[in-house]
Amino acid sequence: MCGNLLVIISIIYFKQLHTPTNYLILSLAVADLLVGVVVLPFSTILVVTSCWYLKDLLCMLRSSFDIFLSVASILNLCSISVDRYYAVCQPLSYRTKMNVRVIVVMILLSWTISAQIGIGITIQGLNEGQSNGCVLFQQTRRTIIGVFFAFYLPAIIMSSIYLKVYIVAQRQARSIQNITGQSKKSKAAVSKSERKATKTLAVVMGVFLLCWTPFFLCITFYHLSTYPIPIPLIETLKWLGLSNSMLNPLVYCFFYRWFR
State in Å, rounded, how far the first CA of the chain is from the last one.
Answer: 18
Q: Distance (Å, rounded) from C-alpha 116 to C-alpha 133?
A: 17
Domains and CATH numbers, the chain: 2-252 (1.20.1070.10)
Give the list of residues 6+ apart from residue 100 with CB closer than 8 angstroms, or none: 20, 23
State residue 130 phi and psi, 5-degree precision.
-90, 90
Mean pLDDT score, 13-39: 93
Question: Higher model confidence: residue 186 or residue 123?
Answer: 123
Q: How confident is the model at residue 55 (pLDDT cuts 50, 70, 90)?
A: low
Name the DSSP letter for residue 14.
-
Please report the pLDDT score of residue 51 as a whole number: 61
- Of 45-49, 63-67, 156-160, 177-181, the range with the lowest mean pLDDT is 177-181
Question: Higher model confidence: residue 40 or residue 190?
Answer: 40
Mean pLDDT score, 176-186: 63
Alpha-carbon distances of 18 from 9, 13, 14, 23, 260, rounded to whole Å: 12, 9, 7, 7, 15
Mean pLDDT score, 137-157: 79
Tell me: pLDDT of 168 over 60: yes
Q: Distance (Å, rounded) from C-alpha 99 to C-alpha 260?
A: 24
Q: How confident is the model at residue 48 (pLDDT cuts 50, 70, 90)?
A: confident
Query: If you average pLDDT over every residue of the chain, what do you get?
Result: 83
Tell me: pLDDT of 82 over 90: yes
Please report the pLDDT score of residue 35 as a whole number: 95
Mean pLDDT score, 184-200: 62
Alpha-carbon distances of 76 from 10, 123, 218, 248, rounded to whole Å: 19, 24, 23, 11
H or E element at residue 177: helix 153-180
Tell me: pLDDT of 122 over 70: yes
Q: What are the start-end ranges of the E strands in the chain? A: none
Structural contact between residues 17 and 259, judged by C-beta atoms closer than 8 angstroms? yes
Express each pLDDT in 221-233 by its tens digit.
877 777 777 878 8
* 71 CB burial (10 A radius; 0-12, 13-18, 19+): buried
Please report the pLDDT score of residue 193 as a whole number: 58
